[in-house]
Amino acid sequence: MLELGQDSGAAADLISEGSEATFMADVVEGSRETPVIVDFWAPWCGPCKTLGPALEAEVKAQRGKVRMVKIDVDQNQMLAQQMRIQSIPAVYAFVDGRPVDGFMGAQGPAQIKEFVARIASMGSEAAGLEEAIAAAEEMLAEGAVTDAAQTFAAILGEEPENIRAIAGFARTHVAMGDLARAAEILAMVPADKAGDPAVAAARAEIDLAGASADAGETAALRAAVEANPADHQARLDLATALIAERKFEEAMDQLLESFRRDREWNESAAKEQLFKLFDLLGPKDPLAQKGRRRLSSIIFS
C-alpha cells in the first residue's frame, strides 16, 4: 500500500498500460488481490483526455487500495470486441476476478471520485474475507476444527458462493469424521466451479478419508508389503493409511512403486489414487509437482 512520503514513482506503479497479452494477469488475476479499474481509451478520443487523468488522480488518492490499467482500443481491438466496447471512454471495474461495475462516457469530478472510492472499498471487503479464510484454514491445519468450522460458516453467511470457504467448511467435517455432511456441503459448489483446486482438494480428502476407514493398520500393511512386494492391494491400502496419517511423501512412494510394477492393476488404481493425492496437496505444492514428474518419467520410460 502506498504511504505518505513515498515518491511519485511508487504512485505511478498504480497506473499501468495493458494489452490483450497482459489482461488476464494484470486485470483478472490482479483484481483478486487489489481492485482494478480498466480505462478503455484511444488517442483520438477527446473525452478520454479529460477522464483518464481524472481517474488516475483519484486512483492515486486511494493510496494503493485500487489500481488502474489503461487499454488503447486501437492497439487491442480483439480485447475491445470481447469486452463489447461500443463507444469510448468506457470504464470497467474488476474485483476478485470479475467485472463488478462500470460506465461509459464522460463523468463529472464528483462522480469519478465516488466511483473510484466505491471500488476501492470493495477491495477492503474482499481483503477482509480473504484474511478470514486464511485464518480459518490455519485453524484447521492446527487442529482447531470447531473454530475453523465456525469461521467458515460465518464467511459463508456473508458470501454463500465463496468457493474456498465452501471447500474449507467441507474439510472441517472431514476432520470431524462426518463424510456425508462434508459431501453435502461440497455439493453447494456451482457446476462451473467444480474444477477449482480448492474444491478438488476437498473432494480428494473426502474420498481418501472414506478409503482410509477400511485400509487397516499401517504397521500390519507395511509388513504385508515387505513380505510380498507384489501384493498391490496391500500396497494401495498402506498408501491410503499413510495419507490418513498425513505421511504424504511415503504414501506417494508406495503408489508410484505399485504403478511401476503393474500400471494396469485394478484399472490403474494406483494412478487414480495418486491423482487424488495430487489434488489434495494442490497444484502448487512442491511434493505434488515432484510426484507428477516421477509419474511422467515412469509413463514415458
Is the model's pLDDT at 27 over the cut of 60? yes
Task: Categorize the per-residue pLDDT at 121 as very low, low, confident or very high, splitting at 50, 70 and 90.
Answer: confident
Rounded to whole angstroms, how far apart are CA atoms 130 and 124?
10
Region 9-36: mean pLDDT is 83
pLDDT (tens digit, 9 = 90+) per residue, 124-164?
666 667 778 888 999 998 999 999 999 999 999 988 988 99
Query: What per-residue confidence (pLDDT) applies to 5?
Result: 36
Query: What per-residue confidence (pLDDT) applies to 181?
Result: 96
CA separation, residue 76 to residues 13, 31, 61, 100 (Å) = 22, 20, 28, 22
Query: Of these residues, 15, 27, 37, 48, which one is catalytic?
Result: 48
Q: Determine the distance from the C-alpha atom of residue 26 to the mean position of all C-alpha atoms in its chain, rounded to a whole number.
A: 16
Query: What per-residue confidence (pLDDT) applies to 185?
Result: 96
Region 257-273: mean pLDDT is 95
Whether 45 sits among the annotated catalytic residues: the reply is: yes
Eight-state DSSP code of residue 213 = T
Query: Of these residues, 45, 85, 95, 165, which one is catalytic?
Result: 45
Query: What per-residue confidence (pLDDT) applies to 13?
Result: 76
Rounded to whole angstroms, how far apart are CA atoms 166 and 187?
9
pLDDT (tens digit, 9 = 90+) per residue, 170-223?
999 999 999 999 999 999 998 888 889 999 999 999 999 998 877 778 999 999
Whether 294 sits among the annotated catalytic residues: the reply is: no
**Grid coordinates of 49:** 483526455
Whether 165 and 152 have beta carbons less than 8 Å apart is answered as yes
Query: What per-residue confidence (pLDDT) applies to 8?
Result: 40
For 38, phi then psi, to 5°, come to -110, 125
Rounded to whole angstroms, how far apart are CA atoms 206 and 147?
20
Region 89-102: mean pLDDT is 90
Region 258-274: mean pLDDT is 95
> SS in 3 state form for 110-144?
HHHHHHHHHHHHHHHHHHHHHHHHHHHHHHHHCCC
If you write DSSP's letter for every residue of 249-267 in order, what string do you get? HHHHHHHHHHHHH-TTTTT
Query: What per-residue confidence (pLDDT) applies to 125?
Result: 64
Query: What per-residue confidence (pLDDT) applies to 126?
Result: 64
Rounded to whole angstroms, how far apart are CA atoms 85 and 78?
10
**Grid coordinates of 61:** 488518492
Region 9-31: mean pLDDT is 82
Task: Report the percentage of the chain scoring pLDDT > 90.
Answer: 67
Is the model's pLDDT at 6 over the cut of 70? no
Kindly report whether the global pTM for this prediction surpasses the value 0.85.
Answer: no
Q: Whole-number mean pLDDT of the chain?
A: 89
